[in-house]
Amino acid sequence: MISYLPSIIKQFEYYKNLGEKTFDQLSFEELQWQNDISNNNISIIVKHMVGNMRSRWTNFLSEDGEKTWRKRDQEFLDSYPTKSQLLNEWDQGWICVLDVLKSLTSHDLERIVYIRNQGHTVTEAINRQLAHYAYHVGQIVSIGKHVRGADWLSLSISKGASQIYNQEKFRKEKGRRHFTDDLKSS
């Protein structure tokens, strides 16, 4: 379990980075694009993620992860007036997540925390949130890719480039490292 916390922090940072690389490619208007009223746009997804982050990670070890002050239904109303405010809220949400994760020790991992009165080990709660954020970041990337069309800059291995990518990886000596270590930050 010694490697769990550093690894999980890198995973959360990876999904944060994928979201930011998507935002970099989109205008504020594109962040608000939705193909119909029943689907969320990127701005709404960000607002929901930030609300979840603040609720789940504020007083993580001592309070239920679903705070009484959270207004979840309001998260699904698009209300960011500017891209800079959306990005600021995104950053604040991630600060809340990453500060808690970086403060945890391996001794905390089996402690019990609650989300809507359902007990989770800290490890289970972390894994739950990682899956939740990965799901939503996947939506953000998919919408961004749809909006940009042919102008989209791939965030992973480009189509047709797998062989070259693998050749570069296999040129390196075998060694223990996280897959994100070789990624360029945004």
Lowest mean pLDDT among 20-34, 86-100, 137-151, 155-169: 155-169
> In the predicted model, what is the mean pLDDT of the chain?
94
| Banded pLDDT at 1 (limits 50, 70, 90) | low
Residue 164: inside a domain: no
Which pairs from 90-94 meet CB under 8 Å and 24+ separation? Answer: 90/19, 90/20, 90/23, 90/46, 90/49, 90/50, 92/50, 92/54, 93/49, 93/50, 93/53, 93/54, 94/12, 94/16, 94/53
Write out pLDDT tens, residues 60-99.
999 999 999 999 999 999 889 999 999 999 999 999 999 9
Print the domain residue range for 84: 4-156
Is 70 exceeded by the pLDDT of residue 186?
Answer: no
Q: Domain containing 20 — which CATH number?
A: 1.20.120.450
Residue 177: inside a domain: no
Question: Taking Cα atoms as reference points, which of 12, 137, 128, 125 lies closest to residue 59?
Answer: 125
Number of domains in the chain: 1
Write out pLDDT tens, residues 20-57.
999 999 999 999 999 998 999 999 999 999 999 999 99
**How far apart (Å, rounded) are the C-alpha atoms in residues 141 and 150?**
14
Residue 163: inside a domain: no
Residue 36: inside a domain: yes
Residue 16: inside a domain: yes
Residue 167: inside a domain: no
